[in-house]
Amino acid sequence: MDTITHGIAGSVLSRTASERPSARSALLLGAVAAMFPDADYFFLSGRLDYLANHRSWSHSFVYMPLFALGLALLARLVFRRTKLPILCLFAAIGITSHILFDWITSFGTMFFVPFSRTRYSLDWVFILDPIFTCIPLAGLIGSLVFPARAGRIARTSAALLGLYIAFCAVLHHRALEVWRALDRPPAGATIAALPQFLSPFRWLGLSEENGEVHAAFFDIGPFARGSDHPQPPMRISQLLGSLSDYYPPPARARIQKFRQAPESPALQATRALPDVQIYLAFARFPLATVKPEPGGGTVVTWEDLRFLPWFAGPWRTDRREGLRREPFVYRVRLDAAGRPIERLFVTSSESR
């Protein structure tokens, strides 16, 4: 979930736990505390560090009480009339809401650092969801405009937000059922239905089985239409207009099948690199592409198909210029002796 939405939601949720004399501190401290976990960004040195450590220590329930106390002590300097335990409560609500609202997305959150670095994700809500944002935003505005009824407004907003999350959870369950019926993955296959941009009815089905990753975009809503021949966007301005064309109803969904690169010395050498191990610890549906180069060298590209854009296939098939592709595509170039001579994230078609 984006940081601003976290702040808005944390402010409203903290207000539900406050009486009127402490309303101001609840709104402000709840917002600051809810945005605080994303401060880990300022301690990360690059993209690999981001993959390894974003949503770790600052998103851990283990450290949450310490952070809540620290923020409450700072807030006590401003809100001298509000008791410290009350400020701790507001800060704890804000931080906890951030952790839980990241959990319902697909990125993965490490709840129990430093004891475990296991990532948890429910895949219910897309990381940027305008409906999710607007519900607490309306509650926050209402609380500020009508202070006499702010508590009731905040509680109503929180309840509506909970209902929307539950609605998305139900749709996720339905999307998983649809995907299983479409792809018929064998027992033991890794499968997921991932929420998509701007609609809780749009999903990306993914499954990994027998050396292949299968993917399909589909819409389980009542107004799904899709297109048999969708036209890929050539410019950023065309992206949103192409959305509905690429999400047909399940009966017309097209399953794409991506074959994993066969085992080879180059692939094994790349997989053993510490930076690639960080990438693979993060990725849930990694796809490896191995391409020989003149002179005996090899290029190995890793991509996590969770971030497969609706308008194109995997990285190696993209021939358009000017459109950014998946945010996490990692490339290793090996020389003829199998030594890495280049390791970097690829960010555009021109960087191929």
Residues 185 and 164 in one domain: no
Residues 215 and 310 in one domain: no
Q: Which two tokens stand for residue 244?
A: 């509905």
Residues 26 and 106 in one domain: yes
Residues 19 and 153 in one domain: yes
Residues 14 and 147 in one domain: yes
How does 222-232 read in b/e, with b if 16+ C-beta sit within 10 Å? eebebeeebeb
Residues 83 and 156 in one domain: yes
> In which domain, by residue range, is 267 found?
261-351
Residues 237 and 285 in one domain: no
Q: H or E segment at 9?
A: helix 3-16
Residues 215 and 331 in one domain: no
Domain boundary (233, 258, 283) is at 258
What pLDDT, in 10s, does the model give residues 145-154?
A: 999 899 999 9
Residues 316 and 208 in one domain: no
How many domains in the chain? 3
Total-model pTM: 0.90
What pLDDT, in 10s, does the model give residues 173-226?
A: 999 999 999 999 998 899 999 999 999 999 999 999 889 999 999 999 998 988
Domain boundary (169, 192, 227) is at 169
Residues 235 and 288 in one domain: no
Looking at residue 349, its pLDDT comes to 46
On the question of a cis peptide bond just before residue 248, with omega within 30 degrees of 0, the verdict is: no
Measured between alpha carbons, how far apart are the two ends of the chain, in Å?
30
Domain boundary (222, 237, 258) is at 258
What pLDDT, in 10s, does the model give residues 299-315?
A: 999 999 999 888 766 65
